[in-house]
Amino acid sequence: MSIRRTINSFFNRRKSFIVKAVLILPITWLVVTSLLSFNEKMNESLMDPANAPPNTLGDDIGDLGRKPRQSAEEEQPKAGLKALDAPKADKHKVAKYSPKVAKDKKHKIHQDSDHELAVLAIPGDRRFDGPGEQGKPVVLMNLTEEQDRLVKEGWENNAFNQYVSDIISLHRTLPDVRSRGCVETQFDPDLPPTSVIVCFHNEAWSVLLRTIHSILDRSPPKLIEEVILVDDFSDLPHLGKQLDDYLLNLPKVKVVRAKKREGLIRARLLGASVSKAPILTYLDSHCECAHGWLEPLLQRIANNWTTVVCPVIDVIDDDTFEYHFKDSGEVNVGGFDWNLQFTWHVMPDREAQRRRHKWEPVWSPTMAGGLFSINKEFFERLGTYDSGFDIWGGENLELSFKTWMCGGTLEILPCSHVGHVFRKRSPYEWEEGVNVLRKNSVRLAEVWLDEYKQYYYDRIGNDLGDYGDVTSRKALRKNLGCKSFDWYMKNVYPELFIPGDALGQGEIRNLGDGGDTCLDSAAKPVDFHKPIGLWPCHGQGGNQYFMFSKEGEIKRDDACLDYSGGDVIVYPCHGSGGNQMWIYDPNVHTIKHGSSRKCMGISMDKSSVIMSECDGSERQKWLVQNYDPSKLENASES
Ligand SMILES: [Mn+2]
């Protein structure tokens, strides 16, 4: 009763206020909506490639012989726009779109610091409903023949879906999914500014521009001294005058152009050489920086000038451009294998125990290489990159090793997120030899790996090739008084399996039918679950380099031979024996499977590995290279 009266009197007293509110709210909403959509239209017409000034004749290099590609580049953005203007349902469907968004909007909007104006979630606002907004995927459907052709062309030229990227706003929004600890972190008010260096070669317009805008849109302006674009001798017309003209509106962004194709390593150094800020931040040209990505990076370096920091690298889907946020609880760390290839790993327990919160920095043995911040003085002290390195490859491991060995720390920051389009192939061609990577890796091994370098050399059949002169790099290491690689292995990356600890390492040769057949298998994630192969022994390491561990695993780096009744396959090592346990008898040369007790052999035509009852035949006899059973005795004694 009395409650009812209270409510009634409340309404009576507030009647005029309620009436006003009922009238005022929709009017305010209408005004804000029309203002915002006008703004958005202006931006669109300013920013879109189709509206950029057309290339005047002869304003750019490399037009000759590029004709077909040039016309594709010019047409594509237009076609994409046309599709955008058309009613959404008939040309493009934006997946996971309608009902869910309305829900998301409310709680995301307050965190969206870019758009503080939009306190109310405005229905139909392009920033939430437009293609790819909030990091959502764009799925193409019912394409015309012409559009289909453009999509294929975009894939061919870039190894990602350029057509989809062209449809998405250059300023698209991303949800802010940082954990509370990250959002609430207080940063020094006087953090040092950074020069952001973005190297590119023939990058797609919309992808490059979205990278630049995401830097500018989601960083405090005073922390961005400049954005330096290093053009590594691109010959696509839109990267010439069209880019220069576009950048007239962005005074902080400058372009440095290489006079010949330099490769990523020298392009990065070129960018550093013209930079003005005390901190360098390197990004690839196909990235999107997320909310609050920059402050944590700069803060760590401000705390300690020898700290080198990487953001968490989120995946931007190469097909739909969906932005996949990695939860800060599942941050991976960088490692490498004895082929000196960079690898990702789940965070080791030892590191999980060292940290108190899931947003705390994660120590990482290595970095992926494309995205990081470093104090410029520290980078120079470390001798930047080895100038004898060509093009790309190995430079990330070089910088990682020397950071740790020469007094620094390498961290991944769970609070800093940058999205990256991972491509399945490189769309660019290099005329020079294919052995650039080997040359870089041999230089790396010679200078930094000490006695561990032999493990890499075994993998390449001890064929070092001409790797040039490394005297000055060795002198650099000596002058800096850096620690040994053994120290690094024991303290920074104790998880890495050391071939020298294996009972056997090298080829595994079958002694039947001429004795010239070896186990042979690639062991990248794409090769997992595939049957192990056989190939004539070549003595070059590579895919014939195996390690027979004390625990009975037959390993190719992180992959193990696994048998569960069907084929013998390569499978990620799980370290708990079972299907991955093998017993080698060096006297009778059998490789017996631990749980099934069957013997490994080869088929009559030497094409496949077969498991069968042990029969003592030659086809079940194997020679495991460098097998030393005494290591097993030593292990059981200790
Ligand atoms: Mn990249």
How many whole angstroms from 515 Cα to the centroid of ligand 1?
44
412 C-alpha to center of ligand 1: Å? 17
For residue 555, report the distance from its CA to the centre of ligand 1, in Å. Answer: 30
Q: Which residue has the tokens 């008084």?
A: 481
Residue 434 pLDDT class (50, 70, 90 cuts) = low
Q: Please check whether residue 382 is in contact with residue 404, taking contact to mean a CB–CB distance below 8 angstroms.
A: no
Span from the CA of 202 to the centroid of ligand 1 (angstroms) = 13
Q: What are the pLDDT digits (tens) for 34-81? A: 444 444 433 333 333 333 333 222 222 222 222 233 333 333 333 333
CA distances from 73 to 199, 202, 209, 261 (A): 20, 11, 15, 21
Model confidence at 612: pLDDT above 90: yes
Residue 247 backbone dihedrals phi, psi, to 5 degrees: -75, -10
Q: Which residues surround ligand 1, an ion (CB under 5 A)?
A: 284, 370
pLDDT in tens, 132-182: 999 999 999 999 999 999 999 999 999 999 999 999 999 999 999 899 999
Show the 3-state SS of 89-113.
HHHEECCCCHHHHHHHHHHHHCCCH
Q: 369 CA distance to ligand 1 centroid (A)? A: 9
409-421 and 307-316 as β-strands: parallel, antiparallel, unpaired? parallel
pLDDT attached to residue 67? 28
Pairing of strands 224-231, 253-257: parallel
* 285 CA from centroid of ligand 1 (Å): 7
Cα 349 to ligand 1 centroid, rounded to whole Å: 29
pLDDT of residue 526: 83
The alpha carbon of 16 and the centre of ligand 1 are apart by a number of angstroms equal to 60
565 Rama sector, left if φ>0, alpha if ψ -120 to 50, beta otherwise: left
pLDDT at 74: 30
Interval 535-587: pLDDT, tens: 999 999 999 999 999 999 999 988 999 999 999 999 999 988 999 999 999 99
Residue 500 alpha carbon to ligand 1 centre in Å: 34
Give the per-residue pLDDT at 524.
81
Q: What is the mean pLDDT of the chain?
A: 82
Rounded to the nearest whole angstrom, what is the distance from the C-alpha of residue 434 to the centroid of ligand 1? Answer: 20
Task: Judge contact between 351 and 362, C-beta under 8 A.
Answer: yes
Q: Answer yes or no: is pLDDT of 588 > 60.
A: yes
**pLDDT on residue 82:** 32
Portion of the chain with pLDDT greater than 70, in percent = 78
Contact between residue 457 and residue 353 where contact means Cβ atoms under 8 Å apart: no
341 has a pLDDT exceeding 50 = yes
| 420: three-class secondary structure by DSSP | strand
Lowest mean pLDDT among 107-121, 191-205, 216-230, 266-280: 107-121
Q: What spacing in Å lies between the alpha carbon of 233 and ligand 1's midpoint?
A: 17
Out of 12-26, 48-62, 454-468, pick the least confident. Answer: 48-62
CA of 270 to the centre of ligand 1 (A): 18
Instruction: Kindly tell me if the per-residue pLDDT of 605 is higher than 80.
Output: yes
Q: How far is the CA of 423 from the centre of ligand 1 (A)?
A: 7
Q: How many residues does the chain have?
A: 638
pTM metric for this prediction: 0.75
User: C-alpha dihedral over 425, 427, 433, 438, to 10 degrees?
Assistant: -40
For residues 412 and 333, is the Cβ–Cβ distance under 8 A? yes
Burial of 444 (0-12, 13-18, 19+ CB in 10 A): buried
Those residues with Cβ within 8 angstroms of residue 555's Cβ, 6 or more apart along the chain or in another chain: 497, 502, 546, 547, 548, 549, 561, 573
Going from the Cα of 284 to the center of ligand 1, the distance in angstroms, rounded, reads: 5
Residue 305 is given by DSSP the state T
Q: How much is the average pLDDT of 251-272?
A: 95
The whole-angstrom separation of Cα 138 and Cα 320 is: 5
CA of 178 to the centre of ligand 1 (A): 23
Q: DSSP E strands: which ranges in 532-576?
A: 533-536, 546-548, 554-556, 559-563, 568-572
CA of 266 to the centre of ligand 1 (A): 16
User: How far away, in angstroms, is 237 Cα from ligand 1 center?
Assistant: 21
Which range is most confident: 104-108, 119-123, 167-171, 177-181?
A: 167-171
pLDDT exceeds 90 at position 378: yes
Quick one: pLDDT at residue 108? 35
What was the pLDDT predicted at 558? Answer: 85
Is the confidence at residue 463, as pLDDT, over 80? Answer: yes
Distance CA 361, CA 414 (A): 6
pLDDT in tens, 198-247: 999 999 999 999 999 999 999 999 999 999 999 999 999 999 999 999 99
**Ligand 1 centre and the CA of 426: distance in Å?**
10
Distance 205 CA to ligand 1 centre (A): 15
CA of 29 to the centre of ligand 1 (A): 42
Q: Is residue 372 over pLDDT 90?
A: yes
What is the Å distance from ligand 1's center to 458 Cα? 30
3-state secondary structure of 277: coil
